[in-house]
Amino acid sequence: MKDSDAGITPECRVPSWLTRREALKQTLVAGLFLPRAFGQRGFGGRGGRRYVDPSQIPVYRYRTLPVSRFRELQAEYDKSLASPLYSRAKDFRDQVAPLSFKIPADFPAAKSVVVVAAFAKSMYARFTLDGAQFRLLVPPQYYADDMNAAKLRGIVQKEIIKNTNNRIVDISESVPLKLLAARSGLGLYGKNNLIFVDGMGSYNLLYAFLTDYAFADDNWSQLYILDHCRRCDRCDRSCPTACFLRGSFPINIDKCVTLYNEKPGAFPNWMLRSSHTALIGCLRCQDSCPVDGGFAGISEMLEDVSEDETRKILKGMADDALLKSLQRKLRQFPATASREVFPILTRNLSVLTRS
Ligand code: B12
Ligand code: SF4
Ligand code: SF4
């Protein structure tokens, strides 16, 4: 598939929804590269849904960067997080606090980082209650996929480095993955703040591996924005909680449904019941995207959850047998991992089934 088919163009694009002054302000925050064509009309991509043949979707794509780039990546990330554009919410800060571009003390010989994007499709789970069936969306990253970090580590060793003597360490849980993917040229940021990768749109999960293998190329890239975003606002219009801010690239994380429905606790008072559209997380700013059109339609069904199990979930009865069955049926759905996190499933299912 050509770059243009995925809505990605090799030139730098600045979105028309940013005024010149706003874009310059963003530049200070993000070190964004402004193209010569900035402010002019007449360039941009096509919209519209299209069919994507699943067999043509790459399983993964990757790029590499030398670890000597970590210092500037860290400075850029720190600068963003210090900006008032980013949430001060504790749940958000707790998630980003452990992320950094530091080389682990036990791996001083690390020379390169391999950033990988793996295609990930949506799943649906069917629950039954009082004769009614609820087919509920489980977005990528909330079920155990055939492709995972351990498998990708093996692929990095066998297909990318092609040498079993090199050390490879999975650092996916400890680095800011989107910035790494964008700066390595693996993908482009979209207005929905996600990384779009050629041939898989934003339906990809990101991973990173450190290695003592020294790749010849430094793929350092400018921060590009998806070409389509210049003339499109579908993600903005479809967001159930109005996270998109005029003139600001970062979404308002404080309003993102995912920030609340991944964690236990009551939903904020301002959040409408209709804002909940998935069993966990939210996919609205991806499934409405014309660039993601063909990828959004690729999904599979998980094993059905019985009426008896559905009732137990709604009553919060997390016995061992139920947890075991749901772990299998929902493929390690995070809220079935223990009694402690089970209330997340009870709350999220209650709001979707109006029970
Ligand atoms: C914290 C977090 C969240 C938080 C905050 C989200 C956010 N936008 O930061 C919450 C809980 C809300 C969340 C939600 C989701 N998340 Co999340 N999340 C993360 C996590 C742990 C860290 C992200 C992070 O570093 N944020 C901090 C900000 C500062 O980073 P940033 O967004 O890259 O910011 C850069 C840009 O804004 C840029 N910049 C600033 N100004 C400008 C201006 C322009 C024009 C440009 C181009 C760039 C630019 O500079 C910043 C860096 O310096 C990562 C995992 C990881 N280890 O990285 C997953 C991750 C980002 N999440 C992911 C996913 C899939 C989701 C959800 C889709 C899940 C779901 N289905 O509900 C939603 C999407 C919400 C959204 N639209 O952003 C994937 C994204 C994959 C991809 N292809 O992009 C990741 C990478 C997990 C993974 N392993 O794949 N997430
Ligand atoms: S829906 Fe959002 S991310 Fe997708 S092309 Fe339109 S503006 Fe960009
Ligand atoms: S994940 Fe949902 S709530 Fe969050 S920005 Fe996207 S559409 Fe809005």
Distance between CA atoms of 125 and 322, rounded to whole angstroms?
A: 16
Q: Is residue 186 part of a domain?
A: yes
Can you give the pLDDT at residue 355?
74
Can you give the pLDDT at residue 247?
87
Q: Is residue 42 part of a domain?
A: yes
List pocket residues of ligand 1, CB cut-off 6 Å: 26, 29-30, 32, 76-77, 80-81, 86, 92, 95-96, 99, 139, 141, 176-179, 189, 192-195, 202, 204-206, 223, 225, 249-251, 253, 256, 258-259, 281-283, 285
Q: Is residue 100 part of a domain?
A: yes
Reduce the DSSP state of residue 317 to 3 states and report it: coil
Can you give the pLDDT at residue 278?
98
Can you give the pLDDT at residue 49?
59
Can you give the pLDDT at residue 97?
98
Q: Are residues 161 and 269 in the same domain?
A: yes
Q: Is residue 323 part of a domain?
A: yes
What order of strands is seen across the sheet that includes strand 204-211? 60-66, 112-119, 204-211, 168-170
Q: Is residue 127 part of a domain?
A: no
Q: Are residues 169 and 307 in the same domain?
A: no
Q: Whose CA is nearest to atom 79 of ligand 1?
A: 205
Can you give the pLDDT at residue 80?
97
Q: Are residues 185 and 331 in the same domain?
A: no
Q: Is residue 259 part of a domain?
A: yes
Q: Is residue 133 part of a domain?
A: no
Low-confidence ranges of the chain (pLDDT < 70): 1-49
Can you give the pLDDT at residue 29?
41
Q: From ligand 1's centre to the CA of 248, what distance in Å?
A: 15
Q: pTM score, two decimals?
A: 0.91
Can you give the pLDDT at residue 317?
95
Residue 65 identity: L
Can you give the pLDDT at residue 15?
42
Can you give the pLDDT at residue 246?
87
Going 184 to 187 to 188 to 192, the CA torsion angle's sign is negative
Q: Is residue 131 part of a domain?
A: no
Which secondary-structure segment (H or E) carries 125? strand 122-129
pLDDT tens profile 126-137: 999 998 999 999
pLDDT tens profile 92-127: 999 999 999 999 999 999 999 999 999 999 999 999
Q: Are residues 291 and 315 in the same domain?
A: no
- Whether the CB-CB separation of 62 and 117 falls below 8 Å is answered with yes
What is the domain extent for residue 324? 303-355
Q: Whose CA is nearest to atom 1 of ligand 2?
A: 289
